[in-house]
Amino acid sequence: MSESFSALLDESLSTLDMQPGSIVSGVVLDVDNDWVTIHVGLKSEGVVSLDEFRNNDGEVNISIGDEVEVALEAVEDGYGETRISREKARKISTWKMLEEALTTGEFVTGKIHNRVKGGYSVEVEVVKAFLPGSLVDVRPVKEAPDIENTVQDFKVIKLDYKRNNVVLSRKAVLEKNNSAVKIELLKNLEEGQIVRGIVKNITDYGAFIDLGGLDGLLHITDISWSRVTNPEEFLNVGEEIDVKILNFDKEKLRVSLGLKQIQNDPWENVESNYSIGGIYEASVSNITDYGCFAQLEEGIEGLIHLSELDWTSKNIHPSKVVEMDQKIKVMILEIDHEKRRISLGLKQTKANPWMEFANKYGIGDKVDGQIKSVTDFGIFVGLEGDIDGLIHLSDISDEDDPKIALEKYKKGEKLDCIIFAIDADRERISLKLSE
């Protein structure tokens, strides 16, 4: 041979990138209990710890003759050692893949390990990455989805090699996948169509229903014909339900859904089932400062105004008269089918103390009572039936200044009076002092 083996070896080495950190291919020469010997085309072989070839389950998947990539850590001159690393090669290769994915927008595959502060820990090949909680799903959820120990696709949104910082987004993948599905689904959607979906998320204002890749909003007002204050009382996450397509926007990929609309509208028969002046049983469904609402049946609710709660208690809060879910008798006062409103009365189901007083007493009859209040214009006297009569200021004294005469009358004092006038409809009784 015209050329020595040493010369040929030197020539082959000159074609390799011998810089530390370079990635080279090698052939496995030997595998023992602790080390793997690899020939990378240099004058000396390198050895790598067997642990660098173990998978997540602790299994070794390497054999003599296998070709592997390793990173050069140090290259000796033929008399020393060649230090190589399988782990570093995998990290360098993974970082290059991540950098390319960041540039091209291509997705990478990783395994979600466990929850950490603010999100999840993800492993992409041999590189640790972070998945923020805000980028887990396409919309905020009260509870994190069960994604631990699952393999997912991600979009790389941030890389910092020096700080070993990799930030991923699962949300971006879902959005891209969902967009194609949404477009296809929207082609087949029609207003009025009844479709089946899964309750994906519940909020204060309604619920999001997964229609198979496309989410629709079921607003709180469209859940039930009855008053809904908490959607969680009607729906459960993961529950399959039938809903009606109310409207959809193909451009904005938005779908509005209705649940109550697939049920019979109770208002269709309201005027045949209820009559003005009729008395019915109802349940108190809501209490406000101006009255309370009572439900006659599911979807049929009426307002009992503060003035219609009690014959005599005019200035007290409705909660002092009724309580939530209480069963009461009510009278239908008015039905407005167009506005879907019913006016109810509670006091009308009880005896009218003003009428009872008018039926029992007449003008000129003597009655006794107790002073409830003394005002600038007269004295209110409490009478039987918990009603009031008024002695007007002009009927108290003939003095030039009758207000002076008021000073001798005190709250709680008993008075003998004469009925001067009775107007039961207007709930007014005029009194005079008995002589």
| Nearest partner of 259 among 279, 239, 278, judged by Cα | 239
Q: Has residue 385 got a pLDDT over 80? A: yes
Domains, the chain, with CATH or none: 5-90 (2.40.50.140), 105-174 (2.40.50.140), 189-262 (2.40.50.140), 267-349 (2.40.50.140), 359-433 (2.40.50.140)
CA dihedral 189, 190, 194, 197 (to 10 degrees): 20
pLDDT number for residue 42? 66
pLDDT number for residue 49? 78
Helix (H) or strand (E) holding 185: helix 171-188
Mean pLDDT of 415-420: 93
Q: Which two tokens stand for residue 199?
A: 């309750």
Q: How confident is the model at residue 111 (pLDDT cuts 50, 70, 90)?
A: very high
Q: Has residue 56 got a pLDDT over 60? A: yes
Q: Has residue 274 got a pLDDT over 60? A: yes
Residue range 242-269, pLDDT digits in tens: 999 998 887 777 899 999 999 888 888 8
Q: How confident is the model at residue 346 (pLDDT cuts 50, 70, 90)?
A: very high
Q: Which two tokens stand for residue 256?
A: 């509005």
pLDDT number for residue 287? 94
Give the contacts of 330 (CB within 8 A, at least 6 positions apart). Answer: 279, 280, 281, 282, 294, 296, 302, 304, 344, 345, 346, 349
Q: How confident is the model at residue 294 (pLDDT cuts 50, 70, 90)?
A: very high
Q: How confident is the model at residue 12 (pLDDT cuts 50, 70, 90)?
A: very low
Q: What does pLDDT average to over the chain?
A: 84
Q: How confident is the model at residue 404 (pLDDT cuts 50, 70, 90)?
A: confident
Q: Has residue 8 got a pLDDT over 60? A: no
| Nearest partner of 127 among 155, 93, 100, 86, judged by Cα | 93
**Other residues' Cβ atoms within 10 Å of the Cβ of residue 43:** 15
Q: How confident is the model at residue 184 (pLDDT cuts 50, 70, 90)?
A: confident
Lowest mean pLDDT among 14-18, 140-144, 274-278: 14-18
Q: How confident is the model at residue 189 (pLDDT cuts 50, 70, 90)?
A: confident
Beta strands of 273-413 (E only): which ranges?
279-288, 291-297, 300-305, 327-336, 341-345, 366-375, 378-383, 387-392
Q: Has residue 9 got a pLDDT over 50? A: no
Mean pLDDT of 10-18: 45
Mean pLDDT of 31-52: 77
Q: Has residue 1 got a pLDDT over 50? A: no
Mean pLDDT of 295-301: 91
Top-ranked range on mean pLDDT: pick from 22-26, 146-150, 421-425? 421-425
Model pTM score: 0.52
| Nearest partner of 310 among 383, 386, 224, 245, judged by Cα | 386
pLDDT number for residue 11? 44
Report yes or no: 400 and 394 within 8 Å, Cβ to Cβ: no
Q: Pick 64 or 72 by higher pLDDT.
A: 64
In whole angstroms, give the CA distance from residue 216 to residue 253.
9
pLDDT number for residue 429? 95
Report how far apart, in Å, the C-alpha atoms of 331 and of each of 181, 276, 319, 320, 340 are.
53, 8, 19, 20, 17
Mean pLDDT of 75-92: 69
Q: Which two tokens stand for residue 415?
A: 């008075």
Place of tokens 């000129």: 364
Tell me the sheet residues that pair with 159: 166
Q: How confident is the model at residue 341 (pLDDT cuts 50, 70, 90)?
A: very high
Mean pLDDT of 174-181: 75
In whole angstroms, give the CA distance from residue 209 to residue 242.
10
pLDDT number for residue 108? 93
Report yes or no: 385 and 352 within 8 Å, Cβ to Cβ: no
φ and ψ of 125, to 5 deg: 55, -110
Count CA atoms closer than 13 A to 401's CA, side-chain side: 3
SS3 139: coil
Q: How confident is the model at residue 54 (pLDDT cuts 50, 70, 90)?
A: confident
Q: Vertex 16, ends 13 and 20: CA angle to 5°?
A: 105
In whole angstroms, give the CA distance from residue 98 to residue 101.
5
What's the maximum distance between 2 C-alpha atoms anywhere in the chain?
A: 152
Report how far apart, in Å, the C-alpha atoms of 429 and of each of 347, 371, 421, 422 are.
19, 14, 6, 5
Residue range 190-249, pLDDT digits in tens: 888 999 999 988 999 999 998 877 789 999 999 998 888 899 989 998 899 999 999 888
pLDDT number for residue 361? 94
Task: Say what percent of the chain tops pLDDT 90.
Answer: 46
Q: Has residue 400 got a pLDDT over 70? A: no
Q: How confident is the model at residue 4 (pLDDT cuts 50, 70, 90)?
A: very low
In whole angstroms, give the CA distance from residue 420 to residue 363.
6
Count CA atoms closer than 13 A to 62's CA, side-chain side: 27
